Amino acid sequence: MSALVAAVPLLTVGVAVLGFRRTPLEAGALGTIAAVAVVAAMRTQAIAIGSVLAGTTILAASAGCVLLPGLMFLQISQRRGAAAALAEWMQAIPAPAPAKAAILVVGLAPFVESLTGFGVCLVVVIPAALAFLPRETALKTALVSVNVMPWGTLGLATLVGAGIAGVPANVLGLTSAFTSAPVFPAAAVVATGLASGWQLGWQILGAVLGITFVGLIVAANAILGPAIAGVAAGGGAMGVGLCALRLAGWRLPRLPTGAWPFAVLIILAGLHRILLQVVPTASSFEIGGGGVTWEPLTSPGLALLTAMLLTARYGSVGADLTAGVHRAVKPVCALTLFLLLAQIMNHAGLIQELARVGHRLSGGFDLAVTAAAGAVSGYVSGSNVAGNALLMGSAQAFGADAGAGVVFAAVQNSAAGHAVLASGPIVAMLAGLAQATAPEQTRVLRFGLWMAALNALLIWLAGSVASGVGALG
């Protein structure tokens, strides 16, 4: 079997999205059809259809149990004005624009995105940024803020990626915190640079706050796990930034009471983590099949579902459920198709063939290839979860040959997540919320692609250090 044949399903997805501008749902369907055609043409390689379907079903269920209540909670929190309250509060802070930009990018945005996912932080960031920044600077700052994807939706991408790679979610989350470490200071430096006209003093402030975020997310992954790490790090970095402003003499507005649905979700997610520590047997309940396992009682979907029920107005649960299901249909179907594609490729040996050939041709730049491929998977699919579904198995197999499977899996997780900011769905959401013109969209997209390339480079360097140290692999 040639590498070109093994790569046909992935090339089909790439051509569908980049060449013909197909949606992720359509691209996933075409990629799956191509994978079935390749396996049928091979003839000598039989696959266990039952194992493929079992693995796909379990992974899709683990994601769907977070996506559906997450979208229902999002529906409620938007209707209750929680996101608008946060945006208005951010606008009211009487501080210099570069300081507020840094707090947005490594504080408020990752806090909101880690709770809700789906690029919802843009709902908060765009109106806030437009209030204190020039228009195009505000749009670029908003795009940079969509940068916490491995921990978005309470760490869904990391949880799904861990299931595919066959490593504990806490281990993948902690290792991903190291491979993502340079991304957050870089994002804060870019944000403060855009807001200040690239004045060095403000960029140093951004770097300090970004490094603070990194320290918090590493600690949170180690102590709390990936589901709540982004929330804790974003909230902590925001608190540090606000305290610094207060010490500098700025009078801060009161915290917005209208954002209480987010507070309910934070409390419930924290109680869930505590309960798992008190009742460790909850983690022992597993559903397995097709080479993957899922621990339903550890899913952050439980906290999202409870928060949704507690914050919904009486009599509106049915409407919220209907709206959540309607919004979830396309992303869940697209994700399921990508998972099915990945499972077919894995059981047919296509992923292993790509890993073998990639290892042979990489010329010692194994991690660079993994980072680049991961970035492409996130950009093409528009989702960290779908990107992991596509290439996590390949990255882990690639890394296993090099003796650092976890580091390679983390590089895939980080690279896919931090490239999503430049993807079609995110740029389209930004354009819709800001009513951007076609020229503005083009310039913002070009800027996003440069940021995605920078992120991939930084992740490769961080992964090289982690792999060299050997403590994480």
DSSP alpha helices (H): ranges in 224-290? Answer: 226-247, 260-278
Q: Tell me, what's the pLDDT at 191?
A: 95
Q: How high is the pLDDT of residue 310?
A: 86
Q: What is the mean pLDDT of each run of 10 residues along the chain (473 residues)?
A: 78 79 79 88 71 84 78 78 82 88 92 79 82 90 90 86 88 94 96 92 93 95 89 93 89 84 82 77 73 76 84 71 75 80 80 70 76 83 78 82 83 93 76 78 84 94 81 45
What pLDDT does residue 458 have? Answer: 96
Distance between CA atoms of 413 and 162, rounded to whole angstroms? 9
Grouping H, G, I as helix, E, B as strand and the rest as coil, residue 225 is coil
Nearest to 226 by CA among 268, 273, 258, 186: 273
How many Cα atoms sit within 13 Å of 171 on the Cβ side? Answer: 15
Task: Give alpha helix (H) positions in 49-182.
Answer: 49-79, 82-91, 97-103, 109-116, 121-132, 135-145, 152-165, 169-179
Query: In the chain, what are the domain boundaries?
Result: 3-469
- In this prediction the pTM is 0.77
Cβ distance 141 to 442 under 8 Å? no
- What is the C-alpha separation between 469 and 473, in angstroms, rounded? 9
Q: For residues 120-156, b (16+ Cβ closer than 10 Å) or e, as one string?
A: bbbbbbbbbbbebbeeebbbbbbbbbbbbbbbbbbbb
